[in-house]
Structure 1
């Protein structure tokens, strides 16, 4: 029986079917709202961080030229005055150029990851409509139960974010090990991406008991799909613009799984 289930679909067939739906006018139009919201929030966040970072370098440069300026500056300036070598290095043009480049390269990478998670959260508000549209087009005979209480969803979200933070801080020491750092950086974000996206879509199709059964029986098939979607999301722009496509893909997968489990 398991072999038959595995042959019901492949990741390639899911992606092809989802992409065909995604290219329709209705779904392309729906894509614009989460895309604009995510881009706006991400831009504000990165702009604020970059401003704080370069303000710190400017303060160091001012103190390197005139140590007395620290009298009217904040704690960072006082620290720089106590350690003039730090001020001289941080205030130099070469250091600013290197630090600025690293900030935008590393910060840009994290901005992509954070924007992906932010986009997943935002698309959650549009998921019911997307799933309903996929059902109407392809699976009109499959019932959407969606009876999981909102309180359970909130508790789920809090647990996953707590685990994400724990996972993130445990991974930090591995950031400095070549090759391993690629896994260390992405693993916590994939965990959160997978958890939020699958829970949002599955919660629109299954009841609580069915959801547990599906995540137990089909966990590796679901993980394979979300891993492919996560890799696609790392392409700049796709992680934000492609969220509707991601939801459509998982909706197809879960409707197929629902059809199977309810026939047993």
Structure 2
């Protein structure tokens, strides 16, 4: 099956009634998180941070609400000090933009991974019944396996962030340097969640040895889609469908080869 056909099939499956029902879960989950974050920030207001910095620059003493969270007091005090000087002011402005971009991307990627972790078995079960009921699936790994994979992937991601620090100040290249660690974590978690639900460890190793680049291309495409905030509300379900079809197709090919080899052995 051509890649375009896999994408079209995945889109058709996404717009079926069972999948659309499941797709509402990421929307509700995301809205709850966003509302909590919004009302927490709105309690003190982003405008108050700007006013605090401006007043401090003018030499005025500004009192901070003692009930404000400790991180709010710490951040405003530090930023006010740094904004007193033009050099540090420019540097802080650059870092705020960079860190803000990283935070938004991190939130999007981690939210996608969390949603996928909960929805993967349900979605793949629907796909199995709809298209691949003739194929037997056997997952691998233990209850702690996803946690260990997540910890390992997170450590590597952090190390990549540290390694790429010099590249963050180079235009255009910094986009690649920022995204590569996130993509690594996204690829590892998404790939493991789907593969470990459908395949045995031996089947996964065999398919990965033959089609590793194909699945990297697929997860890279899905990673770019995850960067679109409004689309992210629903795309997590599509991610599992698309990657699930990829593994189901490869598993089907593998089963046919195994059945053919068994017939040959019987004839011998």
TM-score (norm 1): 0.78
What is the CA–CA distance in structure 1 between the aligned matches of 2:209 and 2:5, rounded to whole Å?
Answer: 22
1:180 maps to 2:176:
no
Assess if the C-alpha contact under 8 Å between 2:102 and 2:178 holds in 1. no
Assess if the C-alpha contact under 8 Å between 1:146 and 1:205 holds in 2. yes
1:30 maps to 2:26:
no
DSSP 3-state at the match of 1:142 = coil
How far the C-alpha of 1:40 sits from its partner, in A, is 3.0
Q: Deviations over 1:88-125 (max 9, x none)?
A: x97xxxx9xx96x9968973674244223312212211
What is the CA–CA distance in structure 2 between the aligned matches of 1:45 and 1:58, rounded to whole Å?
Answer: 21
Among candidates 227, 236, 247, match of residue 243 of structure 1: 236
Query: RMSD over aligned Cα, in angstroms?
Result: 3.5
Among candidates 202, 214, 232, match of residue 207 of structure 2: 214
The number of residue pairs the alignment matches comes to 248
How far the C-alpha of 1:159 sits from its partner, in A, is 0.3
1:123 maps to 2:122:
no
Among candidates 236, 243, 256, match of residue 249 of structure 2: 256
* Structure 2 segments unaligned to the other structure (5+ residues): 67-72, 259-268
Specify the alignment match of 1:230 in structure 2.
223
* Structure 1 segments unaligned to the other structure (5+ residues): 1-8
Among candidates 13, 23, 33, match of residue 21 of structure 1: 13
How far the C-alpha of 1:19 sits from its partner, in A, is 0.3
1:200 maps to 2:202:
no
Among candidates 48, 61, 77, match of residue 54 of structure 2: 61
Among candidates 136, 156, 164, match of residue 163 of structure 1: 156
Assess if the C-alpha contact under 8 Å between 2:108 and 2:226 holds in 1. no
Assess if the C-alpha contact under 8 Å between 1:35 and 1:119 holds in 2. no
Assess if the C-alpha contact under 8 Å between 1:63 and 1:80 holds in 2. no
Counterparts in 2 of 1:81 and 1:133: CA distance versus 1, 3 Å: closer
How far the C-alpha of 1:236 sits from its partner, in A, is 3.0
Q: Deviations over 1:139-187 (max 9, x none)?
A: 0011110132112222111101111111123223212211211211211
DSSP 3-state at the match of 2:228 = coil
